[in-house]
Structure 1
Amino acid sequence: MIDILDRLSALLAKCLTALAGILLVTMVALACANMISRAVWVPIQGTFELMGFMGAVVAAFSLAFAQRQRSHVAVGILLSRFPRSVRRAAEAGTSLASCAFFALAGVETWKWAAFLVETGEVSETLTIIFHPFVYASALGCLALTFVLAVDALKTLTSETVE
């Protein structure tokens, strides 16, 4: 069962990272187009706004992949001196605490997006709906929650701790 969950978390992380990559390329293209447009005529309206929205989604969609790859900063100097059981408990506890935090962040962000839909709020410059970007950010947090939960399960059920 854990192997299935692990493969599912890997697939989810890869899909979200691919979408983040597409958005990042879009951001670069938009920035370049804006620079050229500014030099030739006038800047593209709303570039700053769109870059902010897409940047938030790129960051959120990259979280799960970064966790799976262990691309984050980890301080293990102190823990490496403790017995395996203490290291395992610390690893599982960290994963579970992080899981709870990002679950809360994801749920609250999702609620905020629902509120934006309800109120019909639009962006300031382009006057476009921006709740899809907020929903996407919530999805990134919830995907990280899933990856962290799988990590905790793997840590609690494995024989070795890294």
Structure 2
Amino acid sequence: MMHFLDRASELIARALAVLAGIFLVSMMLLACANMVLRAVWVPVQGTFELMGFLGAVVAAFSLAFAQRRKAHIAVGILLARFPAWFRKLADAATNGLSCGFFLLAGIETWKWAAFLVKTGEVSETLQIVYHPFVFASAAGCLALAFVLAVDTLKSLTQEKVA
């Protein structure tokens, strides 16, 4: 079962990272197009707004992949002095609390997106619905919560999953 969960978390994290990369390239193309068009004609309308929406999705979709790769800052100086059993327990507790936080963040963000759908709110400049970006950000938080839950289980069961 752990192998299945670990594989699922890897696939989810990788898929979201690919999408984040696509959105990041889109942001780069939009920024370049805006600079060129600003110099020769008129800037792209709503660039600032779109960059904000896409940036939020890029950040949210990158979270699970960063957790899987342990590509974040970890404070190991203090914990290195404790026995292995305590480090494993601290790792499980940290992952569990982080999982709870991002689960709550994902749920509340999802509720906010549902509220935006209900009210029909649109962005200021482009007058587009932006709830898909909010749903995407919520999905990124929920994906991170899933990866953290799997990490917590791995810490507690002490299974080494490749």
With the shorter chain as reference, the TM-score category is over 0.9
SS at match of 2:103: helix
Partner of 1:98: 98
Partner of 1:26: 26
Cα distance in 1 for partners of 2:60, 2:134 equals: 10
Cα distance in 2 for partners of 1:122, 1:59 equals: 22
After superposition, the CA RMSD in angstroms is 0.9
Amino acid in the other structure paired with 2:15 = C
Cα distance in 1 for partners of 2:83, 2:35 equals: 56
Q: What is the CA deviation profile of residues 12-67 of structure 1, one whole-angstrom value per residue up to 9, with x for unaligned ones?
A: 00000000000000000000000010000010100000000000000000000000
Deviation of 1:81 after TM superposition, in Å, equals 1.1
Partner of 1:130: 130
Q: How does 1:73-112 map to 2 (within 5 A)?
A: 73-112=73-112
Amino acid in the other structure paired with 2:111 = K
Q: Matched residues, percent identical? A: 71
Partner of 1:62: 62
Partner of 1:145: 145
Amino acid in the other structure paired with 2:104 = L
Q: What is the CA deviation profile of residues 89-140 of structure 1, one whole-angstrom value per residue up to 9, with x for unaligned ones?
A: 1000000000000000000000000000000000000000000000000000
TM-score, normalised to structure 2's length? 0.97
- State how many pairs are aligned: 160
Gaps (5+ residues) in structure 2?
none
Range that drifts further, 99-108 or 150-159: 150-159
SS at match of 1:116: helix
Deviation >2 Å, runs of 4+: none
Gaps (5+ residues) in structure 1?
none
Amino acid in the other structure paired with 1:139 = A
TM-score, normalised to structure 1's length? 0.97
Cα distance in 2 for partners of 1:28, 1:110 equals: 27
